[in-house]
Structure 1
Amino acid sequence: MADEDEVNVTDLVDGLDFLGSDDTPSITNNYQENAGSDGSIFTTASINKNIFNANFSLHFSDWYDLKLAKHDIYRLFIQKKLMRLRSDAEPAKVSFARATPFDIKPFQDGAHDATFSIPFENPSGYKFSLLRSDSLYTRDEAGWQRGMNLPNGEDLIYRHTVPQFKIFNASDIPIDPYYQRHDLKIIVKFKGNSLQLVNKTNGTSWKYNKSSNGSDLIVLDGINTTLNGTPASANTDYGNLILEKGWNDIVATGATTVDITFSFPFIYIG
């Protein structure tokens, strides 16, 4: 499950081998039609739920062995909750998906082998980095791979104690916690009468209007603010920050000292 320890399914079922997976992103473009006018006017686009197939082979000794293996496989994959899935082809990217119905049967009568595919529904339509940004900056070997849009030779730092700094969004898309409900947590401690964060790259901002002595833990989780775990959006201007792809220039004003962490998964299309 998405909130449980990760397991290697081929270690749990004797004779099961993973053969790879295939997936295709899904996008819907919307247009406005104007009577009497040629063509259509583009309005919006959205990434949709997609389906990807995980392919397996299964070797078994007899019919009874097959029945036991099928039970173990169905028990693992036919679940109501989202499962966090990743493969050795993309070890630093994960999908959150649910299995749909699938069958397992020998490739011919009397055979001791079967090949089958499990179709998974991915409701977000995205893949995500295995680790969040504030873990990735340590360059943990398990959290990095080619194809993640990460710059070469540059340190990626997501915790800052100075009023001006840069945040790198390695995603394929902007991180938008309001309109797209993307996961973005900004964890703050500050000393001063107030604190405003402005992303100079796109003009988005958030302001905490109350004073803090530097020990309070203030978290902007998407569009909701908490103070030491208690709802505190009323203490803000109800703003939020959007992170553009690549580098974002962030400025903090109104405080004498700051300790600011940006925590989010990178988002990938396919």
Structure 2
Amino acid sequence: MRVDIYDKDFNVIDLEQYNVYTTNFTLGSPSPSHERQETSGQHGTVTLGSKLGARPMSVSFHINAVDAYDFPLVRNEVFKVLNGLEFVYLVDKREPGKRWKVKVESSYEVQAVALVFAQFDIDFTSDSPFAESIGTTQDPLTFDAEVWQIGQGLLSEDDIVYTRTTDSFRIYNAGDVTIDPRFIHTPLTIEVTTAATATSATLTLTNTTTGDVWTYTGSATAGQVIQLKNVECLKGGASVALNTNFGLIKLKPGYNSFTKSSNISQISVITRFYYK
């Protein structure tokens, strides 16, 4: 099956114009590692924690050059694009709503057969163990948006929106991975817009599903946006973390129930979804 390749800015890399085609995509399983400890006087071990490592994958390529003189030119185009110095994105056309951010893992040989043909495999590694959705919460959650696919956890319910104004609401994480802003591979931005009463009371946002609470006690004006960007808290681009409880908000897979204080007029959640 075809694999589409994109550059680090997610612009398509068209190798087919050089008669280079992808023919197969092989994805390695999640790679767990476990921290274990022996306990004196007891059999076996105790598992203290588990995590997933980088994700291996490979893509099969086929070259069909015009003639023997064209072959090295085509081969060099492959070397130029897939050299391992820059990140690229891979999209398996069987799963067109997900992408993998990868680098070429090792050297590979492109050996001509009958002067003009070649078949070869390239190994890639994703630092993240998770695929990420091409779409974000700023895209319509409909297949008409052409960034989603079946199997991404999308629902047809009308209340799946990511900008909220009521004091209690739900936010839906369509992925199967908890979005935790502490981790580089699951970034999350929440924009908190203050109401007219914000100058006189503490701002509070709570995910009652996870028990996470964020509070802000600094100065604010009506309509001001405070950004919870990963582990940072920003107002006008400057850190205001010292005016918070240093709380971070996570999103478990599925629905997350929230409450906000009435001096917050609106919250917007900006993220992708992540999949094992």
**TM-score between both structures, scaled by the size of structure 2:** 0.88
**Is the contact between residue 38 and residue 44 of structure 2 (CA under 8 Å) also seen in structure 1?**
yes
**Aligned residue identity for 2:14:** V
Q: Which residue of 2 aligns with 1:41?
A: 46
**1: CA distance between counterparts of 2:63 and 2:131?**
27
Q: Determine what percentage of the aligned residue pairs are the same residue.
A: 23
Is 1:249 aligned with 2:257? yes
Is 1:23 aligned with 2:27? yes
Q: Which residue of 1 aligns with 2:89?
A: 84
Task: Identify which of 52, 72, 79 aligns with 1:74.
Answer: 79
* 1:223-238 equivalence runs, <5 A: 223-238=231-246
State the SS of the aligned residue for 1:66. Answer: helix
State the SS of the aligned residue for 1:148. Answer: coil
What is the Cα deviation at residue 11 of structure 1? 3.5
Q: Give the direction of change, closer, same or farther, for the CA distance of 1:261–1:138 in structure 2 (3 Å limit).
A: farther
Q: Which residue of 1 aligns with 2:120?
A: 116
Q: Give the direction of change, closer, same or farther, for the CA distance of 1:138–1:159 in structure 2 (3 Å limit).
A: farther
**2: CA distance between counterparts of 1:40 and 1:180?**
30
**1: CA distance between counterparts of 2:142 and 2:219?**
32
Report the number of matched residues. Answer: 265
* 1:194-233 equivalence runs, <5 A: 194-233=202-241
Q: Give the direction of change, closer, same or farther, for the CA distance of 1:170–1:142 in structure 2 (3 Å limit).
A: same
**TM-score between both structures, scaled by the size of structure 1:** 0.90
Q: Which residue of 1 aligns with 2:100?
A: 95
Q: Give the direction of change, closer, same or farther, for the CA distance of 1:5–1:94 in structure 2 (3 Å limit).
A: closer
**Is the contact between residue 209 and residue 236 of structure 1 (CA under 8 Å) also seen in structure 2?**
yes
**Aligned residue identity for 1:52:** M
Task: Identify which of 142, 162, 168 aligns with 1:164.
Answer: 168
**2: CA distance between counterparts of 1:137 and 1:210?**
35
Unaligned runs of 5+ in 2: 1-5
**1: CA distance between counterparts of 2:158 and 2:193?**
26
**Is the contact between residue 134 and residue 261 of structure 1 (CA under 8 Å) also seen in structure 2?**
no
Unaligned runs of 5+ in 1: none
Runs of 4+ in structure 1 deviating by more than 6 angstroms, as ranges, are: none
The C-alpha deviation readout for 1:230-251, integer Å capped at 9, x for no partner, is: 2211221111111111100010
**2: CA distance between counterparts of 1:259 and 1:139?**
27
State the SS of the aligned residue for 1:121. Answer: strand
What is the Cα deviation at residue 229 of structure 1? 1.4
**Is the contact between residue 23 and residue 52 of structure 1 (CA under 8 Å) also seen in structure 2?**
yes
